[in-house]
Structure 1
């Protein structure tokens, strides 16, 4: 894995930290600096990287740096964490946007293969396309969860932008996408054509009001994700200190969603996009706390995706019409899964998706002869 394209963290920030409180995060974080060079990746679990790319933003290209986020994040105190973390510095803009994509794709792919979770601080959200393409070499179908006020499907025939990257993910080969889930969409920011297309593709979409009313609703969705992206436009302008929408997640809610992403055993990369230095100190601190809660979640993973853990699951069978739904419950965490029937003549990459995370409410509804919607959608995608 070539890391020579990474630029070090601004030396002024490192100078500010010298002699400071070594009990804060900066005291336990290895930082890419001009003097010390790149940190070693041996026994590292989390790697932070900035990507200074926003040329394809439909809102216009603005100067981009992550100095203020780093100041805010480094100053926080860690929880009772047992993780080794590094800050790899930044990926600068390439000669073309495609060059930036290539650098990010290779970095994410290399880190995931080393079981290191990359946390990406990004400019425009089209960078999720590169984050997703990093999984091309990992021989698996991918579940993408996007916390966003828009679906960002766009017109796949048009050039990619920060509002159209999902369409490119769907239509461009190799076809690795198994499911796309949007959390927090706001109807007035999405055309009816896009809303109907989400339904036809059997993708999951949860309106802002649904999630706010019951935030635990999205825990099973996060538990099934491989990569997660957050568009800061999903946060309301009052809590972010910037933005255009008075509606959106508040600070507590977006941090709770970030923790759900971290605690998911399957999430292997996490991106936070649409950052602008103009957000001010309030926005910088909120972004720092979103990162903090993701790492806090990673620290409390239970690793229930292992074969040995699944042997301990309690099995429940629920007959509905001509189907027998098979549920599993973990005695360790109390979390639930439902089995998706595997079709032998379908792409074998789907073997890893035979257990779909669900909630106890899904089990209770099945007992009342109501088929869970996510199970139905996953089964239909398996059959297509």
Structure 2
């Protein structure tokens, strides 16, 4: 693939370090060095900016990628031999649809190369382009958002209803998890409408009360879409939604760190930063730190698989009267993380999915975990 047809390279000279910065330890310096020495296909992770916001309800986020770079390049390099490349900005098409397909082509290419992609938007409807990269395989989507971006029967696509297209046109969307939604922005009728799409949702308070419980959702995700509007406006003023409630800045960074650690995360997009509304570049700084925490989590991730390395796991089998088969759980002896086996009677196969300790404890009380029911239901739907 000729990436130069799709991308405009970064002008590193345009991003000067502040006086407090140390050039040899800065991420920008590492990226500039890797630009000359590391082929994109040899990288472990690549950054791509997308200056597209024509389908945004509030235009302005097209200016965000370079504003994020300005702050991101100042931060620590994470590791001196971190195989990371910044490939520059995607060349925008004549229509937003053209931009979606260009983004899809680039992401699909790196999926085939086994390289993780970080997308710096731009508006959140760009998630359509990243999702299209999975057109030949099932994928799990996690969105961080104050509301459900789904409008049943929508005739046109924008940054607040893009999920409509994914639900209606992408049967290979295996599951969707919405984290951090605020109930006064999302009606129960909307959540019921997407129940058939195996959509799970956690309110802001539920996530905040048990932050570690979101790790299994991230561990099973292939695609992340992070909306800056999920953060409190006082900590991220460069947003058009503007709610006094939302995630605190450190919580947003922790979520991103979990996402970076995820075993199968392939594409992560960060969207809806509006520089024209940003006071003292506070939101650009936060978005850069959110992305930095994703990169740190990615670099230090521990890949584990109960099927490939069973000796590294403890196995727990619980007999359940309500179902014919026992529930089998695995716990890593190295990290303490949990997995659960799902048996699909339709094709006589086992599926091992990430879960939490709470799922195991619930099963130990002879209660079938919700996570088990959701996966069984989706597997049955795919079999039809």
Q: Secondary structure at the match of 2:77?
A: coil
CA shift, 1:2, in A, is: 2.7
- Which of 22, 27, 30 is equivalent to 1:28? 30
TM alignment of 1:268-283, pairs within 5 A: 268-278=266-276, 279-280=278-279, 281-283=281-283
Does 240-249 or 259-268 show the bigger shift? 240-249
**Are the equivalent residues in 2 in contact too, given 1:145–1:183 (CA < 8 A)?**
yes
CA shift, 1:23, in A, is: 1.5
TM alignment of 1:127-276, pairs within 5 A: 127-137=126-136, 140-173=137-170, 175-243=171-239, 244-276=242-274
Whether 2:76 is the aligned partner of 1:77: answer yes
Does 299-308 or 205-214 show the bigger shift? 299-308
Aligned length: 373
Whether 2:339 is the aligned partner of 1:309: answer no
- In the alignment, structure 2 segments of 5+ residues that lack a partner are none
Structure 1 pair 110/305, CA: closer, same or farther in 2 (3 Å)?
A: farther
Q: Which deviations, in whole Å up to 9, do the C-alpha atoms of 1:183-207 show, x marking residues without a partner?
A: 0001111133212223344311000
Structure 1 pair 60/285, CA: closer, same or farther in 2 (3 Å)?
A: closer
Partner of 1:333: 335
**Are the equivalent residues in 2 in contact too, given 1:184–1:206 (CA < 8 A)?**
yes
2: CA distance, partners of 1:50 / 1:60 = 16
CA shift, 1:122, in A, is: 0.8
**Are the equivalent residues in 2 in contact too, given 1:179–1:203 (CA < 8 A)?**
yes
Q: Which deviations, in whole Å up to 9, do the C-alpha atoms of 1:226-266 show, x marking residues without a partner?
A: 11110000011011133311110011000000000000111
Structure 1 pair 314/81, CA: closer, same or farther in 2 (3 Å)?
A: farther
2: CA distance, partners of 1:242 / 1:257 = 20
**Are the equivalent residues in 2 in contact too, given 1:56–1:161 (CA < 8 A)?**
yes
Partner of 2:14: 13
2: CA distance, partners of 1:343 / 1:165 = 34
2: CA distance, partners of 1:42 / 1:358 = 32
1: CA distance, partners of 2:88 / 2:34 = 6
Partner of 1:93: 92
Structure 1 pair 62/291, CA: closer, same or farther in 2 (3 Å)?
A: closer
Partner of 1:102: 101
- In the alignment, structure 1 segments of 5+ residues that lack a partner are none
**Are the equivalent residues in 1 in contact too, given 2:60–2:274 (CA < 8 A)?**
no
Output the TM-score relative to the length of structure 2: 0.90
CA shift, 1:29, in A, is: 1.0
CA shift, 1:41, in A, is: 1.6
Structure 1 pair 16/78, CA: closer, same or farther in 2 (3 Å)?
A: closer
Structure 1 pair 25/97, CA: closer, same or farther in 2 (3 Å)?
A: same
CA shift, 1:76, in A, is: 0.7
**Are the equivalent residues in 2 in contact too, given 1:9–1:32 (CA < 8 A)?**
no
What's the Cα RMSD here? 2.4
**Are the equivalent residues in 2 in contact too, given 1:81–1:296 (CA < 8 A)?**
no
Output the TM-score relative to the length of structure 1: 0.90
1: CA distance, partners of 2:165 / 2:80 = 38
CA shift, 1:62, in A, is: 6.1
Q: Which deviations, in whole Å up to 9, do the C-alpha atoms of 1:89-115 show, x marking residues without a partner?
A: 101321111110111001111112111
